[in-house]
């Protein structure tokens, strides 16, 4: 038995037939052709499938497609559509990522952080990224990019 759901993905409307136990990650990758959310663990541990659902980051491997009916989904492709953000530019400049497999999730997690805390502390950045595993970088080059672009280098949180 299939359900028909309606999703808005990066501004485009999609009407899709999904199985009741099909997760949003598979719906996005297989039925919408959005490939930036990656399959890393399929149990919510690694964060490489992170997307924004109605403005909040979620692990798309833990959200059913039917749960997302009517939702607005933003992925890294959506963020990149209108040109890179200042944070993405800083991450390129500082070579923040190595293999890049975790990057779609981490860019979204830090993007969300900056929406709520434009000048985060180092601890706030660490907290925001703590659900996204990266095996290459030791995280510091990612944290540094966020702090550098927000001008809050290592110090206290500055009010916006």
Partner 1 sequence: MTTGRTYPGRADEVNAMTELTYVGKDVSRIDGLDKVSGAAVYVDDIDFGPALLHAEVVESPYGHAIITGIDTSAAEAVPGVVKVVTGRDFPFTFGMYMQDRYVFAVDRVRFVGEQVAAVIADDPRTAKAAAKLVAVDYEVLTPMLDPMDAVADDAEPIHPGLGDYPHVPWFFPKAGTNISHWRKTRRGDIEQGFAEADVVLEDTYRVPRYAHCAIEPHVVVAKLDHADRLTLWTASQSPYAQRHVFAQALAPLGLTHQNIRVITPSVGGGFGGKAGVSMEIIGAAVATAVKGRPVKVRFTREQEFYNTYQRQGVVARLKVGATRDGRITAIEHTMHWDAGAYVEYGANVVNAAGLSATGPYRTPNLKIDSLCVYTNLPPGGPYRGFGYSEFMFGVESHMTRLAQELGIDPVEFRRINAIAEGDPLPYGEPMNPSGLQEAIDRTAEAIDWGVEETSDDPTKRIGKGLALFWKAPAMPPNASSASFLKFNEDGSINITVSGMELGQGYATVMAQFAAEVLSVPPHKIRVENPDTDRNPYEWQTVASHVTWSCGNAVAAAALEAREKIFKVVHDAHGYEEGSLYLEDEKVKCDTDPEFELELKDFVVAGIETEDGTYRGGPIVGSGTFMPEFASARSDPETGQGGHPNVHYTVGAAGVILEVDVETGKMRVKKAALAVDAGKAINPRLVEGQITGGLLQGLATVLYEDMRFDENGRLLNPTFTDYKIPTSKDVPDEIVPIIVETPQPDGPFGARGVGEHTMIAAAPVVADAVADAVGVRITSMPVTAEKVALALLEHDDER
Binding string, 104-143, against partner 1, x = CB under 8 A? Answer: x--x-----------------xxx-xxxxxxxxxxxxxxx
Binding string, 71-100, against partner 1, x = CB under 8 A? Answer: ----xxx--x---x---x--xxxxxxxxxx
CB atoms within 10 A of CB 130: 11
Q: Site for partner 1 (CB under 8 A): which residue of 46, 74, 114, 149? A: 46
Q: Which stretch binds partner 1 (CB under 8 A): 1-9, 44-52, 62-70, 113-121?
A: 44-52
Calpha distance 36→137 (Å, rounded) = 19
Binding string, 141-160, against partner 1, x = CB under 8 A? Answer: xxx-----------------
What are the CB-based long-range contacts (under 8 Å, 24+) for 52-58?
A: 52/108, 52/111, 52/112, 53/24, 56/112, 57/108, 57/109, 57/112, 58/24
Nearer to partner 1, 70 or 93 (CB): 93
CB 2 within 8 A of CB 48: no
Nearer to partner 1, 8 or 80 (CB): 80
Minimum Å distance from CB 19 to partner 1?
Answer: 8
Alpha helices, DSSP H, located in 15-153: 24-26, 76-81, 86-93, 103-116, 122-129, 140-150
Minimum Å distance from CB 120 to partner 1?
Answer: 12
Calpha distance 27→29 (Å, rounded) = 6
Calpha distance 157→160 (Å, rounded) = 9
Residues near partner 1, by CB under 8 A = 29, 33, 35-36, 38-43, 45-46, 48, 75-77, 80, 84, 88, 91-104, 107, 125-127, 129-143
């Amino acid at each position: 038995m299939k359900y028909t759901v309606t999703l808005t993905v990066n501004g485009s409307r999609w009407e899709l037939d999904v199985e009741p136990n099909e997760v949003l990650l598979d719906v996005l990758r297989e039925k919408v052709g959005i490939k930036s959310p990656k399959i890393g663990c399929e149990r919510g541990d690694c964060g490489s499938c992170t997307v924004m659902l109605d403005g909040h980051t979620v692990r798309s491997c833990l959200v059913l497609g039917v749960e997302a009916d009517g939702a607005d989904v933003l992925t890294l492709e959506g963020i990149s559509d209108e040109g890179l953000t200042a944070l993405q530019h800083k991450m390129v400049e500082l070579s923040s990522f190595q293999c890049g497999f975790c990057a779609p999730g981490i860019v979204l997690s830090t993007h969300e952080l900056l929406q709520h805390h434009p000048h985060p502390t180092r601890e706030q950045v660490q907290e925001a990224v703590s659900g996204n595993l990266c095996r290459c970088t030791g995280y510091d080059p990612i944290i540094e990019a966020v702090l550098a672009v927000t001008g809050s280098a290592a110090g206290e949180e500055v009010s916006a």
